[in-house]
Amino acid sequence: MQLVYLFIKKYIFFKHDDNYINSLSITSIVAIAISITIMFTVLSIFNGVSEKIRSLFLSTTAHVQIYLDKGEADNFTIYANEQKDVSVASKTIKTGAGIISQGSFHGVMYQGIESEQFKKLYSVKFINGDICNRDNLNKLFRTHQIDYIVHFAAESHVDRSIDSPGDFIQTNVVGTFELLEAARNYMTSQTSNQNKNFRFLHVSTDEVYGSLGETGLFTEDTPYAPNSPYAASKASSDHLVRAYFKTFGLPVLTTNCSNNYGPYQFPEKLLPLMIHNALKGEPLPIYGDGKQVRDWLFVEDHCKAILTVLEKGKLGHVYNIGGHNEKSNLEVIQSLCNILDELLPDSKFRPHQDLIQFVTDRPGHDRRYAIDATKIQNELKWRPQESFETGLRKTVEWYLNNKDWVNRVMSGAYKGTRLGLT
């Protein structure tokens, strides 16, 4: 501001012989003053947005919340920086899923650090439970003041739903029912002031709509036509959520997303399984002709969309979330192999495309999914930030840098089997 003052003093109060020059100077100063005013106004708006984002994250339950006393934030930051799987962001969360330090607004992105490590250092409460257990759910609601429920819990792998459909009915249908009932009882017990901001966000899938032809997109008004036990179980849960809004007035929101991919995806899913197999030189099985088309959505874009719906979505509404990345399964695996060839030039399995094997198609395999995300884009101003090319590279790099995590997961009951293999 001192510099501005000196400028004004020089060019307004300095005596010029030419009145025309004086007029130009005054006009310039007025323009500069207006520009500065606009700049400060814009900065104020952005500061307000920053505060809004900060308050939003602090009011939203993340995967884990860490409550730090004054002075502990620096210690936590130092500790987090020492962990290869943890990144620290100053004053904001880098992704929609994170850990929030309430004391200093340090945000820590949750990237697989073991819960026991947190337990040793800080007072973090992890609750392991079954959403089908009503007693446990009611206890949680009695114990905690719940602001939001974001319902991710589900059996989600189509292959396993064909082999064991009962597990999917139990978790996806019965589990959703029990959670809705617990939420309804909780809402009934609260005063109108206490529950006015309560939200129940149900995370679902585009598979409930069935299969598309070569053209067209799924919208929020597309009739349900599930073709697998998994899709049918999710469609059933969607209908339950809608019914609890219409019948009981439960403040619900529903999102139907396209194919998710990214770090920390369980290796029964296509991309992590293919990466795991490729690193071992094992076959890369592709169902049928590999021309089944999916709309691929990077996980961080999905998290941001969910947070947007939670904050700004209209109660009782459905929002389709898509990545605008239609790719056939064969295209996806070929792109994956090309990236592996590039990042692993010394691999004895190059070219990795030689590992591709076409296997018998699975029953009821939908041919094409594609999401019309116009509603969330226009009404809530969300758009995906990641292209499939950039997201796929990030995904591959993460799995290459976190082989220990994959091996630990694969050492359990799941052995990477898929239908169609002999």
pLDDT for position 197: 86
Strand ranges, E, within 31-127: 64-66, 87-89, 98-101, 107-109
CB 62 within 8 A of CB 102: no
Q: Which secondary-structure segment (H or E) carries 295?
A: strand 293-298
- The pLDDT averaged over each successive group of 10 residues in the chain (422 residues) is 45 46 53 54 48 44 37 46 41 31 32 49 68 92 88 91 94 96 91 81 97 94 96 98 97 96 90 94 95 96 96 97 95 97 96 96 92 97 95 96 84 61 44
pLDDT for position 74: 45
Q: Measured between alpha carbons, how far is 65 from 75 in angstroms, rounded to an integer?
A: 16
**Domains of the chain, residue spans:** 2-58, 62-121, 134-410
Q: Which residues contact 358 (CB under 8 A, 6 or more apart)?
A: 285, 286, 287, 288, 289, 290
pLDDT for position 417: 64
Q: Was domain 134-410 assigned CATH 3.40.50.720?
A: yes
**Residue numbers annotated as active site:** 206-207, 230
3-state secondary structure 354-390: HHEEEECCCCCCCCECCECCHHHHHHHCCCCCCCHHH
Q: Is 65 exposed, middle or buried (0-12, 13-18, 19+ CB in 10 A)?
A: middle
